[in-house]
Structure 1
Amino acid sequence: MLKVLVKLSCTLAVLLTGLACEKSVSFDLNGQPPKLVVEGTIESGRPPVFFLSRSLDYFSEINPSILSQSFVRGAEIRLSNGTRTHRLKEYTLTNTAGNIYYYSIDSSDLATAFIGEPGKNYTVTILAEGESYTASTTIPLHLKTVDSLWWKPSPNNPDTTKVVLMARVTDPAGFGNYIRFFTSVNGSAFNPGLNSVFDDQIVDGTQYDIEVEQGVDRNTDIDFDNYSFFSRGDTVVLKFTNIDRATFDFWRTMEYNYGAIGSPFGSPTRVLGNISSGGLGYFGGYSVQYNSLVIPK
């Protein structure tokens, strides 16, 4: 148990009397039992992928060994598209940081396997460590689209090798079209934007031009002065996805919390997942469009 002493200034008393006062408040920060953390996705034209892990305490030490041990193994995951139900299989990836465990299509049982399809609903049931969890998602029809990509010199940037990427987007009439975007540069992995999800409250039913920032790897230090730019000679692929409201809410609140870490003006926000029974994380569907652009040197 950890006790934190917080001193609260009595602002009103200071304003009225000119006298300062403060109050001591003690908080008991109890350790919490680990919870199941789910990161499940299904994209149009691709098989489902699930990562299961256990949550770590706020003050826990984190290193590659601990992270590798946090994966939940031996779970039973059954995914349904309303017509078929398929039991996913556990797989292992080995890299320099240790083993990564994930669940996807069982290649020995392709008769019941399926890939993501726009316009369909998906429901998952997870049996892990004696507990049962459920979640559902939709892969929306791909109604919001990127019509074209182009680049232009970065304004007010003395580095003439830096450029900005622009996209022309068409949003259909009717609210509720949510998107998330990723970029890949010169064949690298797809990384999401620093703020990667958007709704259509302002742009509903319009065609508009918008700057596309380069995606970021949050496991590395981010240069906030230059992270969003691309360079002359880059080959850029934009991964533009339509998502449902639950997926939008998860990433909207998650990214807000990312941005609030370490900020004296930030306030904690509950991350809105869609996993039942107290599970953390989300199961999300993505309808995917790819656009590419070669930026000349």
Structure 2
Amino acid sequence: MKIFSVLICAIMLCSCVKNINFKLKVVPDILVVDASIENNQPPVVVLSKSFDYFSKITPEILDTSFVHNAVVFISNGTQTQQLKEYSISASGGFFLYYYSIDSANINSAFLGQVNTTYNLKVEVAGKEYTSFTTIPPLAKKIDSLWWKPTPFADDSTEADLFVRAKDPPGLGNYIRYYTKINNDLYFPGQQSVFDDQLIDGTTYDLKVQPGIDRNNPIAFDKNFFHHGDTVTLKLSNIDRTTYQFWLTMEFAYQSIGNPFASPNKVLGNISGGALGAFCGYASDFKTIIIPR
């Protein structure tokens, strides 16, 4: 009797299954803006086109996604400069494209300065997109770095890195951090942005997780520093808008493939219907050598 009841329930459940097919709308490409300016560095603007949700990303598709011949201006309130498009060679015979200061017109060029607001204007195919960002004061700096052997590590070469920093009094100090190992690039942490709600006005010590290459991620339990590494920590002061952009972007990245994740909207700051953000960074650096 119990077996018969189970069979009846199974049949009823199967009969309730209904296939639901979603027909996604075909939408035009949207401009994607990845723009930044950092203290003592020139502005960098990367323009590309968005992809369909189910697009298969290949080097060929990425190569054709860059937006060329755009008119890009950046202003610090006193000077305005038009940026020039450049290309750099990438693997496989492809190129990466970006806009930065015009080396042939260096008189109108300027580098990023702390405590300064910048305006960005992009003109593409008859449309105009604008944004602004601030390089805040360099309020939070790295006091010191040190390392310790990783406890209970299977690999005796693993090491943990720690930072001491001081948060200035008053809420509203936001940071983003990156690490560089040896001659590699700077990579942001998996969770790279933080506010000061819990540490306002205090001197604090934190363990530093190595930054990750999101195009070639590494398992969390294998992401360590090692003896023999030369590690540079980059601590960037950012404004609230930049903080919100990276906070929501990283949450979206970590939620990919998780059916139980909360709905999320990435909060960009580009007007005119474009995606992305224009971000300012006031950065401080410190390097440590973890001995062999």
- TM-score, structure 2 length as denominator? 0.92
**Alignment match, 2:195:** 199
What's the secondary structure of 2:178's corresponding residue? strand
Shift of residue 144, structure 1, vs aligned partner = 1.1
**Alignment match, 1:251:** 246
Shift of residue 264, structure 1, vs aligned partner = 3.0
State whether structure 2 residue 161 is matched by structure 1 residue 153: no
Shift >2 Å, 4+ stretches:
19-28
Is 1:260–1:268's contact at 8 Å kept on the other side of the alignment?
A: no
Q: Which amino acid in 2 is paired with 1:121? A: T
Distance in 1 of aligned mates of 2:18 and 2:90: 51
Q: Deviations over 1:67-113 (max 9, x none)?
A: 01000000000100000000000111112241111100001111111
Q: Deviations over 1:155-211 (max 9, x none)?
A: 222322111100001000111100001111011110110111101111111100001
Match of 2:186 among 181, 184, 190: 190
Match of 1:173 among 165, 169, 173: 169
**Alignment match, 2:290:** 295
Cα separation, partners in 2 of 1:264 and 1:88, compared to 1, 3 Å: same
Provide the identity percentage: 50
Q: Which amino acid in 1 is paired with 2:96? A: I
* Ranges in structure 1 where 5+ consecutive residues have no aligned partner: 1-18
Distance in 1 of aligned mates of 2:80 and 2:217: 42
Bigger share in strand: 1
Shift of residue 268, structure 1, vs aligned partner = 3.3
State whether structure 2 residue 215 is matched by structure 1 residue 219: yes
Q: Which amino acid in 2 is paired with 1:66? A: I
State whether structure 2 residue 55 is matched by structure 1 residue 67: no
Distance in 2 of aligned mates of 1:123 and 1:285: 11
Number of matched pairs: 278
Match of 1:94 among 61, 81, 89: 89
**Alignment match, 1:112:** 108
* Ranges in structure 2 where 5+ consecutive residues have no aligned partner: 1-11
**Alignment match, 1:50:** 45
What's the secondary structure of 1:225's corresponding residue? helix
Shift of residue 221, structure 1, vs aligned partner = 3.5
Distance in 1 of aligned mates of 2:151 and 2:263: 35
Q: Which amino acid in 2 is paired with 1:285? A: G
Distance in 2 of aligned mates of 1:224 and 1:206: 29
Shift of residue 22, structure 1, vs aligned partner = 7.1
Shift of residue 146, structure 1, vs aligned partner = 1.1
Match of 2:31 among 21, 36, 39: 36
Farther off after superposition, 93-102 or 243-252: 93-102
Shift of residue 265, structure 1, vs aligned partner = 2.2
**Alignment match, 1:4:** none
Distance in 2 of aligned mates of 1:127 and 1:282: 16
